[in-house]
């Protein structure tokens, strides 16, 4: 209750907000400067000044074809698996990449023979397009094949035995025995193994066995002589002993995907917003004053610039929902400023306002609308904060710019718009409406402004 008392006392006093121009215009400029500096830094460290999602930049996609293994129940498990595999992908040169998935994964068909999971990801920063397609994308595909499909074995060589461990069970399935296929693959591999790596494997099937103790996930190969372990041998085994697509699915894709937000959509949205601004300016000019309209539009620009600055500073992903966020901010911000200028308009109709400075008129109007501005901001913030707190990641990405926009909108309608309006009143014919000294003489401050010093 003390707080409300203090607030009421505050409302009893005269406000001097519009005179504090240095502070009012300094804050947004400072934020903008920070944003620009950080954008330059990000441009060199992270590869891009803004964190644009593949909705704008395009990217790559792979389909993890799981066929009928994919069900409603295990979908989420697969999603998590794919996500963790993509976090560390190592290419053939041993370089590790952290692949960032853009948006959410989608299952295409469920439980059918051709069900798959569609994954979109953005290009790794600092990696050229040809490197992406020759090096990184194949690495991603094989990482998913071993990590998610369990198709690729890990190789362990110990004296005369080679053990291949798979991520999946390899004995009989409903449509045949994958082990049979593996055995056939192995037969093809024997000459290479013998000639290149001196394994001395006889061409009998008894040399390759399925280890039941490992839960039918291991294959043990017995050689005649000790085998020298080498990276080449391992990769020959890995390549030759991949589990068959027929049972364990495959990973396809790794190709360029265009932007979902087309330049046409962006252009038309920009055109519509610019035209909307012009029409708004005309409407406010007609109903209020042209200077009020200009102040409103500049306040609006301020809000949008601050939102962009915040997205840059926190390097938050900008996706296709950002356009919707900007439209929302636009509607909210203009509302705020107009409520204020409605009070200004009312005040200007009074004869007594001729004896005041424009700053005094603006300050009085701010005071009258302050409670409303605060209360509306609170109710709106309650709703959007709930969404941000309870919602999923994607919705948080949408909520963040709106929260920033709300705060910026409140600030601009209380501080920037009225200050600008008061400034505009000191120019040209508008001066005549106020108690302002003629331009060439030094100004005699009116009573209301005297107190601010």
Partner 1 sequence: MDEKNSLTEIESGENKSSAKSKTAVQPARKAVKKKSTIVKLVLIGVALLIGMIFAFVPMQFGLKNYNPFLSAESISLGLDLKGGVYAVYRATNTDTDDFDTKMEGTRSALSSMLADQGYTEATIVREGSDRIRVEVPDVDDPQKILDIIGEPTTVKFVLDSTNETVITGDNVVSAEAGTDPSSGYVVRLRLDSEGRRKFAEATANHINEKMSIYLGSSTTAVSSPTINSAIPNGEAIITGFASYEEAQQRAGQILSGTFDVALELKECKSISATLGEDAMLYGLIAGLVGFVLVIVFLCVVYRLLGVAASFALMIYVVLYLFFLAALPWVQLTLPGIAGILLSIGMAVDANIIIFERIKDEYRGGKSIMAAYHAGFKKALFAILDSNVTTVIACILLMLLGTGSVSGFALTLLVGVVISLFTALVVSRAILKYFINLNSYNAKLYNLKRGKLYAGLDADVTDADILAEMERERQAKEDSKLEKENAKLEKARAKAERRAQNNQDNKGGETA
Residues 259-318 that bind partner 1 (CB under 8 A): 259-260, 262, 264-265, 268-269, 271-273, 275-276, 279-280, 283-284, 287-288
Q: Which are the contacts of 338, defined by CB distance < 8 A and separation ≥ 6? A: 284, 288, 296
Sequence-ordered strand ranges (E) for 16-93: 59-65, 89-90
Tell me whether residue 223 or residue 399 sits nearer to partner 1 (CB atom). Answer: 399
Min. distance of Cβ 170 from partner 1 in angstroms? 29
Indicate whether 347 belongs to the interface with partner 1 (CB under 8 A): no
Q: Write out the two tokens for 287.
A: 């109903």
Residues 216-255, one symbol each (x = binds partner 1 by CB under 8 A, - = not), give ---------------------------------------x
Min. distance of Cβ 115 from partner 1 in angstroms? 8
Cα–Cα dist 330/128, whole Å: 38
Cα–Cα dist 169/179, whole Å: 10
Indicate whether 133 belongs to the interface with partner 1 (CB under 8 A): no
Tell me whether residue 105 or residue 436 sits nearer to partner 1 (CB atom). Answer: 105
Query: Measured over all CA atoms, what is the biggest interatomic distance in the chain, rounded to whole angstroms?
Result: 110
Q: What is the footprint of partner 1 within residues 138-157 (CB under 8 A)?
A: none
Indicate whether 395 belongs to the interface with partner 1 (CB under 8 A): yes
Closest to 449 in 3D by CA, of 357, 351, 354: 357
Indicate whether 380 belongs to the interface with partner 1 (CB under 8 A): yes
Tell me whether residue 332 or residue 424 sits nearer to partner 1 (CB atom). Answer: 332
Closest to 261 in 3D by CA, of 52, 404, 405, 104: 52
Indicate whether 350 belongs to the interface with partner 1 (CB under 8 A): no
Min. distance of Cβ 318 from partner 1 in angstroms? 13
Tell me whether residue 19 or residue 55 sits nearer to partner 1 (CB atom). Answer: 55
- Among 179-187, 199-207, 224-232, 392-400, which window interacts with partner 1 (CB under 8 A)? 392-400
**β-strand partners of 106:** 118
Closest to 57 in 3D by CA, of 123, 108, 13: 123
Q: What is the footprint of partner 1 within residues 172-201 (CB under 8 A)?
A: none
Tell me whether residue 107 or residue 449 sits nearer to partner 1 (CB atom). Answer: 107
Indicate whether 328 belongs to the interface with partner 1 (CB under 8 A): yes
- Single residue of 241, 402, 408, 414 touching partner 1 by CB under 8 A: 402
Between the CA atoms of 116, 118, 124 and 127, what dihedral angle is there, to the nearest 10 degrees?
A: 70
Min. distance of Cβ 271 from partner 1 in angstroms? 6
Tell me whether residue 220 or residue 269 sits nearer to partner 1 (CB atom). Answer: 269
Indicate whether 7 belongs to the interface with partner 1 (CB under 8 A): no
Indicate whether 71 belongs to the interface with partner 1 (CB under 8 A): no
Min. distance of Cβ 144 from partner 1 in angstroms? 18
Question: CA distances (Å), 74 to each of 67, 68, 107, 227, 306, in order?
Answer: 13, 11, 11, 40, 43
Q: What is the footprint of partner 1 within residues 90-119 (CB under 8 A)?
A: 103-110, 112, 114, 118
Contact criterion met (CB below 8 Å) for 257 and 120: yes
Q: Write out the two tokens for 264.
A: 């046409």
Cα–Cα dist 433/419, whole Å: 17
Closest to 102 in 3D by CA, of 64, 48, 151, 57: 57
Contact criterion met (CB below 8 Å) for 18 and 282: no
Min. distance of Cβ 421 from partner 1 in angstroms? 15
Cα–Cα dist 172/62, whole Å: 29
**101: which DSSP letter?**
B
Indicate whether 258 belongs to the interface with partner 1 (CB under 8 A): yes
Tell me whether residue 263 or residue 440 sits nearer to partner 1 (CB atom). Answer: 263
DSSP secondary structure, 189-237, as one string: HHHHHHHHH-----SSGGGEEEEGGGTS-EEEEE-SSPPPP-HHHHHHH
Min. distance of Cβ 92 from partner 1 in angstroms? 23
């Amino acid at each position: 209750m003390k707080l409300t008392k203090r607030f009421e006392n505050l409302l009893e006093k005269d406000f001097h907000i519009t005179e504090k121009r240095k502070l009012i215009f300094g804050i947004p400029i400072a934020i903008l400067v920070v944003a620009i500096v950080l954008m330059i830094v990000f441009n060199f460290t992270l590869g891009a000044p803004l964190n644009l999602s593949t909705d704008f930049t395009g990217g790559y996609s792979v389909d993890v074809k799981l066929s009928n293994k994919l069900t409603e129940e295990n979908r989420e498990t697969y999603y998590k698996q794919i996500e963790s595999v993509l976090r560390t992908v190592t290419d053939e040169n041993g370089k590790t990449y952290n692949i960032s998935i853009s948006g959410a994964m989608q299952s295409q068909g469920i439980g059918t023979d051709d069900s798959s999971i569609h994954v979109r990801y953005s290009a790794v920063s600092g990696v050229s397009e040809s490197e992406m397609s020759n090096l990184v994308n194949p690495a991603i595909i094989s990482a998913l094949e071993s990590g998610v499909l369990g198709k690729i074995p890990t190789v362990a060589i110990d004296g005369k035995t080679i053990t291949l461990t798979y991520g999946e069970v390899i004995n009989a399935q409903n449509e045949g025995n994958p082990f049979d296929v593996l055995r056939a693959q192995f037969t093809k591999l024997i000459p290479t193994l013998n000639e290149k790596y001196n394994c001395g494997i006889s061409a009998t099937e008894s040399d390759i066995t399925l280890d039941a103790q490992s839960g039918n996930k291991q294959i043990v190969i017995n050689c005649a002589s000790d085998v020298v372990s080498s990276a080449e041998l391992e990769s020959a085994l890995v390549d030759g002993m991949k589990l068959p697509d027929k049972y364990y699915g495959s990973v396809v894709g790794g190709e360029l995907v265009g932007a979902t937000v087309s330049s046409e959509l962006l252009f038309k949205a920009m055109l519509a917003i610019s035209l909307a601004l012009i029409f708004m300016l005309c409407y406010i000019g007609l109903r209020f004053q042209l200077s009020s309209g200009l102040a409103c539009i500049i306040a609006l620009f301020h809000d949008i610039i601050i939102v962009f600055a915040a997205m840059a500073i926190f390097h938050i992903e900008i996706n296709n929902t950002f356009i919707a966020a900007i439209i929302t901010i636009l509607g909210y911000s203009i509302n705020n400023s107009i409520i204020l200028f409605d009070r200004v308009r009312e005040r200007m109709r009074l004869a007594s306002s001729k004896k005041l400075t424009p700053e005094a008129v603006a300050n009085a109007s701010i005071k009258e609308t302050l409670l409303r501005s605060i209360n509306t901001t609170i109710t709106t913030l309650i709703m959007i904060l709930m969404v941000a707190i309870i919602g999923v990641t994607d919705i948080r990405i949408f909520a963040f710019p709106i929260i920033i926009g709300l705060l910026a909108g409140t600030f601009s309608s209380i501080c920037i718009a009225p200050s600008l309006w008061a400034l505009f009143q000191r120019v040209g014919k508008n001066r005549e409406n106020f108690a302002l000294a003629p331009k060439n003489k030094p100004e005699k401050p009116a009573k209301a402004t005297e107190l601010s010093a």
